[in-house]
Copies of this chain bind each other. A is one copy, B any other.
């Protein structure tokens, strides 16, 4: 969504001023002439920032509102969960015993990455902003360690937390934090690059200085967006749903109330003021 707000080339087309902002929603079907949906169905869809909308049924799916809290379908059981899965396993090729580092660790994607990696037998180190988020990652999600990037000594703390180096760095933020983690990457390590949130609002991007680590360590860097990995995502979804039903995965959501609160909630998310997945309750 943030990329759509810039008038520059990106993987998603730019938003058009005066038109509805794109975004995923959980919604209730009010009326349907599509045999796949009936009034009262709870669905996930991409209807954007609006209270009511008309759909041809594309990108819309009925879901089970009793299986998990509704907002989870926008994160853990939606794009966030499949993004975590694809990045960690299909691109990152994480193996049991390896060290996985994830940035924006308490967030919608990062929190799932860390939990999946722990279930897979990896050592997991999060990077998050502030003691509250770091505490959540370790105490609630079971990460082995979490580095507060806002505190002093970030690099020393990262070194201490990754005594065997880093095999997979699931990066959501780019910039200075990526540069720091590059100093810890092992030979043949992998970096699934999911976002560069630290750079979106910068007019002058941060320059990655430790680029040579890519050469020295023969790192694979692969950036990905889920539209390129629909099949892999569809494989992950039933597994994630079952894991939720089995109580194996936790998830935290920040809820803003009302459509009018959406812009402020969005800006807050970019600044890390939210905790976990940020959603807006439209009505």
- Closest chain-B Cβ to A111's Cβ sits at a distance in Å of 21
Report the stretch among A100-108, A124-132, A206-214 that lies at the interface. Answer: A206-214
Interface: A78 (CB within 8 A): no
**Contacts A207-B206, A208-B207, A221-B221; A215 near B195 (Cβ below 8 A):** yes
* B220 and A221 contact, CB distance less than 8 A: yes
**Contacts A218-B224, A222-B220; A205 near B212 (Cβ below 8 A):** yes
Q: Please indicate the chain B residues that have their CB under 8 angstroms from the CB of A234 in the complex.
A: none
Interface: A228 (CB within 8 A): yes
- Closest chain-B Cβ to A13's Cβ sits at a distance in Å of 12
Q: Please indicate the chain B residues that have their CB under 8 angstroms from the CB of A195 in the complex.
A: 215
* A223 and B218 contact, CB distance less than 8 A: yes
Q: Please indicate the chain B residues that have their CB under 8 angstroms from the CB of A3 in the complex.
A: 216
* A215 and B208 contact, CB distance less than 8 A: no
CA distance A10 to B213 in the complex (A): 9
Find residues 218-255 in chain A having any chain B CB closer than 8 Å to their own CB: 218-225, 228
CB < 8 Å: which of B187, B204, B208, B218 contacts A211? B208
- Closest chain-B Cβ to A135's Cβ sits at a distance in Å of 30
- Closest chain-B Cβ to A266's Cβ sits at a distance in Å of 19
Q: Please indicate the chain B residues that have their CB under 8 angstroms from the CB of A216 in the complex.
A: 3, 9-11, 223
Interface: A81 (CB within 8 A): no
- Closest chain-B Cβ to A180's Cβ sits at a distance in Å of 13
A-B contact pairs, 20 of them (CB 8 A): A9-B216, A174-B211, A193-B214, A196-B211, A204-B209, A205-B209, A205-B210, A206-B211, A207-B208, A214-B221, A215-B223, A217-B223, A218-B223, A218-B225, A218-B228, A219-B223, A220-B220, A220-B221, A220-B222, A221-B221
- Please give the residue numbers on chain A whose beta carbons come within 8 Å of chain B beta carbons, in ascending order: 3, 9-11, 174, 178, 187-188, 193, 195-196, 199, 204-212, 214-225, 228
